[in-house]
């Protein structure tokens, strides 16, 4: 046990003090803060965001209604009344005095139509707001032509009363499901990036020591199994520290800017609530998934003789994580899909897929326990098998196919007892 803590402490302190850790943490925190504050930064760079539009109402009847509808959609729209010729308006647009000009007229049916002209067509949000405002005016005009009163028009435009009700005994409500979806989405992202980053880090750490022949000295004083798990838990601890720093920075920034997060994305993913049970399951599946992939990454790293070969060796492991993540992302919209249920019992996919199910559905306890049991059993199996490969893999050098390297590692383990 003393040897375990020696290797653990050495690896942990070395990683924490490394420039890579400091730079990656600083850059990730910076990117996180940039994403949170991006809407505010865009507003500041755009100044007041005012858009000057020349409005030419050729009908003499639509100007006030259109301005009112446009103001409700975008308060930054400023209309200038002008009787200038179109050629003069074109010159003002090209000189930057105007963002564009809008011509309003009636079509053959007596309904409003518009033509918006600008220097370029790149500002689709501006054109979209003008089109929506015109659509509202068109609806009002159509109602007048059909002799509909204000009450009938409101009835025509009112959204349908549509609600979803779950009749299952323990089924989540729509609001609870959205809140769970947001938390599950966040945890899946964390699990995905943590496994990819730190599993590769473990494999690289082992390969680095082996390529510098330090491993031969370490193995003489520390058993391979102790060395492998000390590496795994040390890198996992480094990852936890890094994740806490990044999440704390991101959470603090989001809380201070919660009012700026609007739109369908945040409504769909419901970031307004948290479930303690989901968080606990997230931590459990994160730790178990990390142990599974890290154990495999450690013995894969012990099979390579050069650091340059690490990425190639761990690529099948990374592909497995990517497949699990893609299945989980697809399952967010339908967590009861058969493929989600089936793959949630496959240990390589369990950390993400079963976590998705327990976070969004009322999964029986026996199903959760079964999946965790299979995952723990798989970790134990790979730990046992991986320790044997690790013990022999760190002592031979050279390149060969994965299967041949595993056979050579097992043979070296038998020869060295």
In a domain, 19, yes or no: no
Same domain, 248 and 390: yes
Per-residue model confidence (pLDDT) at position 100: 85
Residue 63 structural domain:
50-157
Same domain, 254 and 391: yes
Domain endpoint, select from 95, 122, 157: 157
Same domain, 135 and 244: no
Same domain, 148 and 206: no
Which burial class, exposed, middle or buried, applies to 357 when counting CB atoms under 10 A from its CB (0-12, 13-18, 19+)? Answer: buried
Walking along the chain (417 residues) 10 residues at a time, the average pLDDT comes out as 74 81 82 73 60 82 83 79 75 83 84 85 80 85 78 74 66 68 77 79 72 55 70 79 79 67 47 65 85 80 70 83 89 86 91 87 88 91 74 57 63 60
Per-residue model confidence (pLDDT) at position 373: 93
In a domain, 43, yes or no: no
Same domain, 230 and 342: yes
Same domain, 207 and 145: no
CA-nearest of 198, 232, 195 to 390 is 232
Residue 304 to residue 292: CA distance in whole angstroms: 20
Per-residue model confidence (pLDDT) at position 267: 46
List all residues 6 or more positions away from 94 whose beta carbon is below 8 Å from its beta carbon: 119
In a domain, 317, yes or no: yes
Same domain, 368 and 232: yes
Residue linked to tokens 């369908």:
264
In a domain, 309, yes or no: yes
Per-residue model confidence (pLDDT) at position 366: 92
Domain endpoint, select from 157, 183, 212: 157
In Å, how far from its chain's centre is CA 123?
27
Per-residue model confidence (pLDDT) at position 371: 92
| Cβ atoms of residues 50 and 78 within 8 Å | yes
Taking CA atoms, 225 is separated from 221, 235, 256, 385, in Å, by: 12, 16, 46, 11
Q: pTM (2 decimals)? A: 0.64
Residue 313 to residue 215: CA distance in whole angstroms: 19
Same domain, 189 and 115: no
Same domain, 186 and 148: no
Per-residue model confidence (pLDDT) at position 346: 92
* Total tally of structural domains belonging to the chain: 2
Q: pLDDT per residue over 81-93, tens digit each?
A: 666 677 888 888 8
Helix (H), strand (E) at residue 77: strand 77-81
In a domain, 164, yes or no: no
Same domain, 263 and 328: yes
In a domain, 31, yes or no: no
| Cβ atoms of residues 182 and 270 within 8 Å | yes
CATH code: domain of residue 89: 3.40.190.10
In a domain, 20, yes or no: no
In a domain, 30, yes or no: no
Same domain, 123 and 93: yes
Per-residue model confidence (pLDDT) at position 265: 44
| Cβ atoms of residues 53 and 79 within 8 Å | yes
CA-nearest of 380, 69, 24, 365 to 200 is 24
Same domain, 85 and 189: no
């Amino acid at each position: 046990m003393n040897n375990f803590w020696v290797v653990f402490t050495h690896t942990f302190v070395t990683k924490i003090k490394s420039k890579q850790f400091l730079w990656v943490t600083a850059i990730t925190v910076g990117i996180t803060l940039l994403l949170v504050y991006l809407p505010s930064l865009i507003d500041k760079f755009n100044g007041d965001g005012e858009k000057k539009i020349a409005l030419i109402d050729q009908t003499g009847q639509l100007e006030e209604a259109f301005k009112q509808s446009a103001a409700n959609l975008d308060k930054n729209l400023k209309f200038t009344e002008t009787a200038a010729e179109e050629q003069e308006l074109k010159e003002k647009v090209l000189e930057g005095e105007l963002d564009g000009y809008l011509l309003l007229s009636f079509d053959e049916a007596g309904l409003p139509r518009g033509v918006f002209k600008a220097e370029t067509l790149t500002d689709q949000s501006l054109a979209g707001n003008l089109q929506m405002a015109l659509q509202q005016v068109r609806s009002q005009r159509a109602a007048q032509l059909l002799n509909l009163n204000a009450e009938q028009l409101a009835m025509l435009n009112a959204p349908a009363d549509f609600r979803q009700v779950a009749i299952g005994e323990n089924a989540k409500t729509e609001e609870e499901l959205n809140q769970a979806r947001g938390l599950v989405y966040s945890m899946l992202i964390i699990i995905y990036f943590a496994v990819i980053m730190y599993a590769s880090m473990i494999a690289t750490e082992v390969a680095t020591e082996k390529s510098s022949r330090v491993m031969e000295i370490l193995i003489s004083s520390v058993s391979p199994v102790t060395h492998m798990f000390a590496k795994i838990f040390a890198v996992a601890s480094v990852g936890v520290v890094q994740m806490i720093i990044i999440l704390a920075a991101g959470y603090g920034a989001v809380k201070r800017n919660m009012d700026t997060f609007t739109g369908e994305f945040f409504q769909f993913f419901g970031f307004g609530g948290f479930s303690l049970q989901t968080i606990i399951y997230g931590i459990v599946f994160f730790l178990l998934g990390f142990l599974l992939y890290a154990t495999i990454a450690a013995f894969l790293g012990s099979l390579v003789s050069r650091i340059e070969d690490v990425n190639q060796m761990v690529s099948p492991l990374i592909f497995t994580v990517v497949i699990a993540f893609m299945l989980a992302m697809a399952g967010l919209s339908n967590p009861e899909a058969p493929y989600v249920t089936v793959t949630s019992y496959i240990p390589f996919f369990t950390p993400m897929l079963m976590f998705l199910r327990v976070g969004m559905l009322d999964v029986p306890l026996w199903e959760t326990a079964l999946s965790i049991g299979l995952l723990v059993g798989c970790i134990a199996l790979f730990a046992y098998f991986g320790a044997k490969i690790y013990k022999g893999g760190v002592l031979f050098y050279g390149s060969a196919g994965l299967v041949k390297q595993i056979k050579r590692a097992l043979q070296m383990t038998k020869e060295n007892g």
